[in-house]
Amino acid sequence: MNHTTETKATGGSRHVPVERLQHYNPEVEQRVQGWFASGQPLVWIPILSQENFPDVPQQLLAFADHYQEAMRGPIQQIAELLQLPNGITGWLMPATASDTDVACGVWDGEIYILGIKDRRTGKPQTLLGDRVEVATGQADAPEQSAV
């Protein structure tokens, strides 16, 4: 794996180690760092896909996807990302935004900031784009962008 590691300040004296992965996207990292630096509240919304929830029927995931507004989890500080459910990818965005192309998940105590790409086309996906396909789990393919 091609990666580098450094430590980033997150406001105050708190430092978070950052590991750049093979598919690192500096624009996404800068945007997320800017969100936290500005102090604006963020939200995390679970991606309702078969990949995230393999035991849930696709019809139920598609139905629940229509209620994503109610599933918004507030995030005030970067450390709160560590309290996300392990192994579940979700969308990350400012609380005032309506769409995002940034996803986030926690695996084994490590935070991953991700870009989502359609497995068939390779095109980037967003929260509002191709929502029916995301609900079936056939459109979302996490690509690790930054940590």
The mean pLDDT value for 66-88 works out to 92
Higher pLDDT: 15 or 76? It is 76
Sheet of strand 102-107, all strands in order from the earlier edge strand to the far edge: 73-75, 42-46, 90-94, 102-107, 110-117, 141-146
Mean pLDDT throughout 93-110?
A: 93
What's the confidence (pLDDT) of residue 76?
Answer: 94
Q: What is the pLDDT of residue 130?
A: 54
Q: Are strands 42-46 and 73-75 parallel, antiparallel or unpaired?
A: antiparallel
Is pLDDT larger for residue 123 or for residue 13? Answer: 123
Residue 89 burial (CB count, 10 A): 23
Residue range 107-134, pLDDT digits in tens: 998 899 988 877 788 888 898 885 434 4
What confidence category does residue 56 fall into, taking pLDDT thresholds of 50, 70 and 90?
very high
**Per the structure block, which two tokens stand in for 7?**
């430590």
CA triplet 75, 38, 23: central angle to 5 degrees? Answer: 70
Split at pLDDT 50, 70, 90, the class of 12 is: very low
**Quick one: pLDDT at residue 9?**
43
